């Protein structure tokens, strides 16, 4: 698995996968999780190159997922795709070790610019 996509909305997961293809990342193997709890379970056995997460999800939010990963010394790059656009949210994400934050709605170009440094062009 190259990317673990974490979002409680199945529709959003499909839209992100489409944006990944449109951004030129056609050969990525993408796994899915509906929340942070599912993501942590997946990460027990999988080692993706990147985790793409929503911020607001039931059971475990994206920031809680990130904090849990970092507290267990899992340094997998994690970026957020979120409608949370405030400076406080961005600062919280970066202070906790996020690689990037892309605001919804996003374009394939936004995805490409954020992912290229991590996954290559």
Q: How many residues does the chain have?
A: 121
At residue 120 the predicted structure's pLDDT band, cuts being 50, 70 and 90, is confident
Structure confidence by residue, pLDDT tens digits, 54-97: 999 999 999 999 999 999 999 999 999 999 879 999 999 999 99
Taking the whole predicted model, whether its pTM rises above 0.85 is answered as: yes
Q: How far apart are CA 103 and CA 79, in angstroms?
A: 11
pLDDT at residue 111 greater than cutoff 90: yes
Domain CATH for 42: 3.40.50.2300
Domain enclosing residue 29, as ranges: 3-119
Mean pLDDT on 89-113 = 95
Mean pLDDT on 105-120 = 94
Q: Which residues pair with 13 in a beta bridge?
A: none
Report the number of distinct structural domains present in the chain. Answer: 1
Strands 100-103 and 30-33: unpaired
Mean pLDDT on 97-105 = 95
**CA neighbours closer than 13 Å in the CB half-sphere of residue 80:** 27
Q: Which residues pair with 103 in a beta bridge?
A: 82
Structure confidence by residue, pLDDT tens digits, 18-41: 999 999 999 999 999 999 999 999
């Amino acid at each position: 698995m190259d990317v673990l996509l974490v979002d409680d909305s199945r529709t959003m997961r499909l839209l992100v996968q489409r944006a990944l293809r449109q951004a030129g990342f056609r050969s990525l193997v993408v796994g899915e999780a509906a929340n942070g709890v599912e993501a942590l379970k997946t990460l027990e056995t999988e080692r993706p190159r990147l985790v793409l997460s929503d911020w607001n999800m039931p059971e475990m939010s994206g920031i809680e997922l990130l904090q849990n990963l970092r507290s267990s010394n899992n340094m997998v790059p994690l970026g957020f795709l979120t409608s949370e656009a405030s400076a406080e949210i961005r600062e919280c994400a970066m202070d906790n070790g996020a690689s990037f934050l892309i605001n919804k709605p996003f374009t394939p170009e936004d995805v490409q610019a954020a992912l290229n440094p991590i996954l290559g062009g």
